[in-house]
Structure 1
């Protein structure tokens, strides 16, 4: 193996060992030995990719990943200005509905997502929505902070969750002045004006497709007063990813913390709904959408939506 390839592989493996949530459960000498054997007589960084990908898989957390420079550039490539599935509308009974898909991309893409999402919330709230449905069923993850910005005015100010490392260190998520903060750090997007009704009842919809940052948004609503979830258990990776960009532009993402809700309960597997509703392939988003129907029935019994 060339010195270049050896150094590259060592740096990748060291980042994994330093970051992994499961680092105390892993036989690192064995993992390193297997990776170097798999890399064999690699002469370039690219020739170690297969070994690095194998080592990432051996972490066993179901969330960590490795991406080549080309795959990394594709994830952060050309800006997107319109997002299919990011929409809001009014439902019968005066309820607001917002569908929140995942998002990943450059700064312009994230800003466009926030703008479209906030416009969708405003449109759905036009008649003073008495309660809300937040639909995460098609949210497979990405960057959680634009998503959290869109629904921050619905969530309300205060602590909403955290990432917790295996040494007990907590990285808090809060909402302040209708804007999310990570350990107090504010993000660049302007907050939405308050929704018409303060502390509204909220129904959250999840499916087995709800994953990663989509699950983090689910946790932000868990434990919130006047909130209930409907649908199916989530995919099962409500965890944080530490990202390292390597010398040639490839990236490694390693699971380094569990997600926690506002009560402090941590999660590293599927998040179950309060009320199970069968998965649907037909009827999604229509009058026969069972999860939406169950959510609206519950909301109709909540103060304000029931006319009180």
Structure 2
């Protein structure tokens, strides 16, 4: 009987120890996420952290597994009031890093053509993966399309961002770089007023002066020097808006269409203990003149507003504008 009693006591102690370890693990997980938010959020100086932390710990109290904390952390992110931060569980992160083809998705299609008026029309689609080989593929394909269009000696260019709802900014910046007239045309400013400009040169991308990513570029196209029209819509968001802002202040560039969605802030991925991503807004976008785009939902207003965003109407408007530059 003594042996059975001792065994039961030991078993109960083990169960209690495991339960305590799980609770401790959950608390540490939540605490780590809150610490990232507190240190890096673009709105960190506007948040009552005592209140937010107390509320978050209260919501997490009694939870047994890390997975159960996901809705709690998503709720905490909404309190940051940036409309752009998000939380991605490990299985979504895995698909995100495996890329399009490995997960059975269609790879983004880059459409390009010469119009009847001899204008080069190229679309930059959104790209939403963290697979570097596919980043290279997007950039190299975009460059090949530019080179092909240049062979027709176009009178002007149209960069179509109407369907670009965002995704990964680095490959998009690399793709449009031949169309930009100078370096460091876009950046972010954080909660302490510190600026970090992006720069892309010969396959190397820099952020705030630090090397951030290396692309494997097959052949860089010649710079695009002809007048340029950028097409945008209400669907144009996030990195699609960054592309638009990168041209702000560039000569012979006209933005036409409809006001963009208004997610003009920069995000950073932070990997948590179980592989989940805390995607946090760490800065607001600024253009080459340090104009800050910090109002959620305000978006970028085109120089020429169009009620009709059909291909026919957009191409006619673009042709009218580009013909005045000739």
Q: Tell me the TM-score normalized by structure 2.
A: 0.85
In 2, Cα distance between the equivalents of 1:175 and 1:224? 17
Cα contact 1:156–1:178 (8 A) shared by 2: no
- Structure 1 segment 202-281 matched on structure 2, within 5 A: 202-269=228-295, 270-278=299-307, 280=309
3-state DSSP class of the match of 2:256?
Answer: strand
Q: Which residue of 2 aligns with 1:131?
A: 156
Q: Which residue of 2 aligns with 1:28?
A: 49
Q: Which residue of 2 aligns with 1:291?
A: 314
In 2, Cα distance between the equivalents of 1:292 and 1:93? 9
In 1, Cα distance between the equivalents of 2:36 and 2:135? 27
Q: Which residue of 1 aligns with 2:73?
A: 52
CA-CA distance at 1:120 after TM superposition = 1.6
Q: Which residue of 2 aligns with 1:62?
A: 83
1:187 to 214, 217, 227: 214
In 1, Cα distance between the equivalents of 2:163 and 2:316? 17
In 2, Cα distance between the equivalents of 1:35 and 1:293? 53
In 1, Cα distance between the equivalents of 2:62 and 2:163? 43
In 2, Cα distance between the equivalents of 1:178 and 1:271? 28
3-state DSSP class of the match of 1:244?
Answer: strand
Bigger shift: 203-212 or 4-13?
203-212
Q: Tell me the TM-score normalized by structure 1.
A: 0.89
Q: Which residue of 1 aligns with 2:170?
A: 145
**Count of residues in Structure 1 that have an aligned counterpart in Structure 2:** 295
Q: Does 1:87 align with 2:111?
A: yes
CA-CA distance at 1:88 after TM superposition = 1.5
Name structure 1 gaps, 5 residues minimum: none
CA-CA distance at 1:14 after TM superposition = 0.7
In 2, Cα distance between the equivalents of 1:155 and 1:179? 16
CA-CA distance at 1:115 after TM superposition = 1.9
Q: Give 4+ residue runs of structure 1 displaced > 6 Å after superposition.
A: none
Q: Give the CA RMSD over aligned residues.
A: 2.0
CA-CA distance at 1:243 after TM superposition = 1.5
CA-CA distance at 1:95 after TM superposition = 1.5
Structure number having the greater helix percentage: 2
